[in-house]
Amino acid sequence: MTTTPLQSIRNFTRQALEQWFTDQGLPAFRGRQVYEWLWKKHARSFSEMTNLPLELRSRLEAAFTLNHLSIDLQQKSSDGTVKVRFKLYDGNLVEGVLIPTEQRLTACISSQVGCNLGCKFCATGFMKNKRNLEPYEIYDQVAAIHAICMEDFGKPLSNIVYMGMGEPLLNYANVLTSTELITSPDGMGMSAKRITVSTAGIAKMIRKLGDDGVRFNLALSLHAPDDAKRSSLMPINDSNDLKTLVAALNYFYEKTKGRITFEYILFDGINETEEDARNLVKLCQQVPGARVNIIEYNAIREADYSKSKEEQRERFIQYLEAQRVVAKVRRSRGKDIDAACGQLANK
């Protein structure tokens, strides 16, 4: 005889929870109480919900599961970066990173268990994508990293980037629901402008972000300013070329006026020439307000790439700035614990 798996209570909206209590002949306000425990107080068990009668807590325990993730491993880099490996309810693992600077505390979080896009320079791209994360699993990463911020730095988390494992726009509905929970007054109440969602470039989903009027920022993992080079690094470019992506980004901007950033890893001998810089400037001029984050490449054992030499990187950035392109260097953090950009692979 097989038993039916318990439903995860955290897949319920507040209204749906109120309705469940009403259907049970109980007052709707109990649903609001439970919702607050789930999202504002981050309750990890029904027994923590102390303003509910004991009998009601037992009923909830029998009807639902919370499916909380747990911290499987926590590592601290010599530069203060913290990498957290999370264990999900089904045993799968994902990673998140806390990146502290003087100005901000940023959580880099995952949206999938693995990734199928196969970017040639990314450790996650060499893993099989096992499944999408649920909205509450994304939320739990943020809540856990926020708790580390408070414990280690005495300050709240200030920024969130969806730049961990997986392609966020291939888990579109769950990613959007997670941002709604994070920004809701009933959840963490964070400003959407402090959230950046990064994509390898799924044009039709970038357009959908515009149609849905999202309020967070968007980053495109560009890494090469022409189709031939980009396709050699990122196979997704074969079906989402630069012309298509530029049109989608313009549509997104027209609908949302959201900030758009090009993420650009400089590889030695591949995408660092003056011609590359010129082509990057041309792309930026086609997208309103586009800015560039120059990223230092972080070596992985699966790929044979090298980071651009410092003098070449400086020449590249100087050319961009001379053309009035806003360019910032994102220094690698957490390399000694495989927590830097492109290194997340559950190590």
Please tell me which residue in 18, 95, 263, 272 is annotated as part of the active site: 95
Q: Is 302 a residue of the active site?
A: no
Instruction: For the beta carbon of residue 197, count every other beta carbon within 10 angstroms.
Output: 22
The overall longest dimension of the chain from CA atoms, in Å, is 72
Measured CA distances, 67 to 9, 55, 64, 172 (Å): 9, 21, 9, 21
Three-state SS annotation for the chain: CCCCCCEEHHHCCHHHHHHHHHHCCCCCHHHHHHHHHHHCCCCCCHHHCCCCCHHHHHHHHHHEECCCCEEEEEEECCCCCEEEEEECCCCCEEEEEEEECCCCEEEECCCEECCCCCCCCCCHHHCCCCEECCHHHHHHHHHHHHHHHHHHHCCCCCEEEECCCCCHHHHHHHHHHHHHHHHCCCCCCCCHHHEEEEECCCHHHHHHHHHCCCCCEEEEECCCCCHHHHHHHCHHHHCCCHHHHHHHHHHHHHHHCCCEEEEEEEECCCCCCHHHHHHHHHHHHHCCCCEEEEEECCCCCCCCCCECCHHHHHHHHHHHHHCCCCEEEECCCCHHHCCCCCCCCCC
Burial class (CB in 10 A: 0-12, 13-18, 19+), 43: middle
Q: Is 341 a residue of the active site?
A: yes
Please tell me which residue in 115, 149, 284, 341 is annotated as part of the active site: 341
Q: Which residues are catalytic?
A: 95, 341
